[in-house]
Amino acid sequence: MRHWPLTQLTITTPDLILRVPDDTRLGELAQVAADGVVPRGAVFFPQPWASGTPAETARNVVQNHWWARGDWSEDNWRLLLAVFHEGKPIGQQNLSARDFRVTREARTGFWLGRRYQGRGLGTQMRAAALHLAFRHLGAERVTSSAFADNAASRRVSEKLGYTPNGIRRLSVEGRLVEAHDAVITATAWDHRVQQTTQVDGITECRHMFGIRAAGPPVDDILHV
Ligand SMILES: CC(C)(COP(=O)(O)OP(=O)(O)OC[C@H]1O[C@@H](n2cnc3c(N)ncnc32)[C@H](O)[C@@H]1OP(=O)(O)O)[C@@H](O)C(=O)NCCC(=O)NCCS
């Protein structure tokens, strides 16, 4: 859609295509989530969007996409991309930031339908988000956070070269949870062997990420 340039953005990896879904595709994506994302009883997200009934989970996905679009601003954006494999949506890759034009730091989140997990696709979609952030948006750091018992998510960060960035204690659904934070810098990313990733349509929507102007000169960074 001409008036929402993010719909032009397409990221292509060896096995995946990442795009903002239209409502038909969003409905299909919501069904993937309704069919199961987390093992029964597991808590992998700070908000329990995938812990209710299938219908609640699906509705949460749809509402989350609409909310992220409605709430989008250059200083506080959340890019929610549907991940397609062999033409079908299989999961979601997020890239978000606040005050990105100053901080040059973004964060990611991701999920796959259970039947698509454990095949290397999560690593591929996170790498696609890192490629977009570092190569096309000028990010300097990208962060990720995974709960202590989320071995797959933590391993994806480790495989891609993140370094540990502290542990936070949270209360989630009334339970104590430890969130393991990790970070990767543009320099660390540049030194890695990269998967083939193609980004199309970024020129049309670059301004939406608040990066029309160049980033602050190094001397302008405030050390607190
Ligand atoms: C997290 C998620 C997106 C990762 O995607 P994925 O396709 O499963 O990940 P990959 O297959 O690319 O890589 C997973 C890695 O974790 C490892 N792993 C998975 N489960 C593991 C376990 N229980 N113990 C140790 N390692 C484990 C895999 O072996 C693999 O590492 P390897 O390539 O070195 O063998 C997916 O598992 C998922 O959707 N999980 C539920 C939702 C979720 O947790 N989202 C993230 C919230 S922070």
Q: Which domains does the chain have, with CATH numbers?
A: 5-211 (3.40.630.30)
What share of the chain has pLDDT > 70, as a percent?
A: 95
Q: Mutation test of ligand 1: which of 64, 112, 143 has the most ligand atoms closer than 8 Å to its C-beta?
A: 112
How is residue 89 written in tokens? 């949506």
- pLDDT confidence bin for 40, thresholds 50/70/90: confident
Owner of token pair 């030194």: 191
Residues 62, 25: contact at Cβ < 8 Å? no
Average pLDDT over every residue of 18-40:
97
Hey, whose CA ends up nearest to atom 12 of ligand 1? Answer: 120
Q: Is the pLDDT of residue 219 over 80?
A: no
Q: Note the residue count of the chain.
A: 224
Gap from CA of 57 to ligand 1 centroid (Å): 21
Q: What are the C-alpha distances in Å from 69 to residues 58, 63, 107, 151?
A: 17, 10, 17, 31
Among residues 72, 71, 94, 70, which one has the least CA distance to residue 83?
94
Ligand 1: lining residues by beta carbon, under 6 Å: 37-38, 44-45, 110-112, 117-123, 146, 150-153, 155-156, 159
Gap from CA of 91 to ligand 1 centroid (Å): 13
- pLDDT confidence bin for 218, thresholds 50/70/90: very low
Average pLDDT over every residue of 22-32:
98
Alpha-carbon torsion angle 86, 106, 164, 126, nearest 10: 10
Burial letters for 143-154: b for 16+ Cβ neighbours within 10 Å, e otherwise? bbbbbeebeebb
Q: Alpha helix (H) ranges present in 116-181? A: 121-131, 151-159
- pLDDT confidence bin for 212, thresholds 50/70/90: confident
Hey, whose CA ends up nearest to atom 5 of ligand 1? Answer: 122
- pLDDT confidence bin for 222, thresholds 50/70/90: low
